[in-house]
Amino acid sequence: MQMKCDTDLCSDSDNSTALIKAAQFQEECVMILLKFVADSNVMDASVNIALHYAVYSENICTTANLLMHKAVMDTKSKVYLDHLYL
């Protein structure tokens, strides 16, 4: 049985999706969410996408996977923009 759910639903007061939370801490969860077509470009309340958090956390594998799944590198962030260009 296949379960259908909205992986892009914002789940907390920061409007963070499951992918944004996973990009901060759980590389395996990122891969599972991307496999189920989570949108890698959904922004949270701070105008950050999962890619910004992965770069800030210096998680190279997650960053690469997000980019392979069409995360937009030029997305502007209030906080993490400079890290994308280091």
What pLDDT tens digit does each residue of the chain (86 aa) get? 345 566 666 667 788 898 999 999 899 999 999 988 799 999 998 889 999 999 889 999 999 999 999 999 887 776 655 555 54
Query: Which CATH number is 18-84's, of 1.25.40.20, 1.10.260.40, 3.40.50.2000, 3.40.710.10?
Result: 1.25.40.20
| Direct distance between the N- and C-terminal alpha carbons of the chain, in angstroms, rounded to an integer | 44
Where do the domains of the chain lie? Answer: 18-84
Would you state the pLDDT for residue 30?
95
Amino acid symbol at 1: M
Q: Model pTM?
A: 0.80
DSSP state of 75: -
Q: What is the pLDDT of residue 11?
A: 66
Q: Which amino acid, one-letter code, is at 73?
A: M
The length of the chain is: 86
pLDDT digits (tens, 9 = 90+) for 53-73: 998 899 999 999 999 999 998
